[in-house]
Amino acid sequence: GAGVSQSPSNKVTEKGKDVELRCDPISGHTALYWYRQRLGQGLEFLIYFQGNSAPDKSGLPSDRFSAERTGESVSTLTIQRTQQEDSAVYLCASSLSGGPSYNEQFFGPGTRLTVL
């Protein structure tokens, strides 16, 4: 079946512009995660959605970052007034559930964001 998809695959923007990144999780997956991966670095947790519960936003680095998810479908990550340090690959992952029985996260291909 289809895996996690993300769009765009690459995004080049100018400093100060807003960008919107999209994630389509695997159908039926109630949990959705966003991560940031800077060049040569590990995966930095940003935000986690679980069903209709309030999202865990504890990883968002500043108020310029926000994310939304409608139900158990598509999620968008928005970065306002982009800065050069926002340049990174943004990875989305989904899993069957994020409840007590933790399930494997499946990652999307990522969006490579370059801020000039």
Partner 1 sequence: GENVEQHPSTLSVQEGDSAVIKCTYSDSASNYFPWYKQELGKRPQLIIDIRSNVGEKKDQRIAVTLNKTAKHFSLHITETQPEDSAVYFCAVLIQGAQKLVFGQGTRLTINP
* CA–CA dist 18, 5 (Å, integer): 21
The type of residue at 83 is Q
End-to-end CA distance of the chain: 37
In the complex, least distance from residue 51 CB atom to partner 1, rounded to whole angstroms: 11
Please identify, using beta-carbon distances, which residue of 5 and 80 lies nearer to partner 1. Answer: 5
Q: Does 51 bind partner 1 (CB under 8 A)?
A: no
Query: By C-alpha distance, which of 38, 8, 28, 1 is closest to 109?
Result: 8
Q: Which two tokens stand for residue 77?
A: 């990550």
In the complex, least distance from residue 87 CB atom to partner 1, rounded to whole angstroms: 16
DSSP H/E element including 112: strand 111-115
Please identify, using beta-carbon distances, which residue of 48 and 86 lies nearer to partner 1. Answer: 48
Rule CB under 8 A: choose which of 20, 26, 56, 66 binds partner 1.
Answer: 56
Rule CB under 8 A: choose which of 98, 111, 113, 115 binds partner 1.
Answer: 98
Phi, psi of 84 (to 5 degrees): -60, -30
Span of 18-26, 69-77, 80-88, 99-107 interacting with partner 1 by CB under 8 A: 99-107
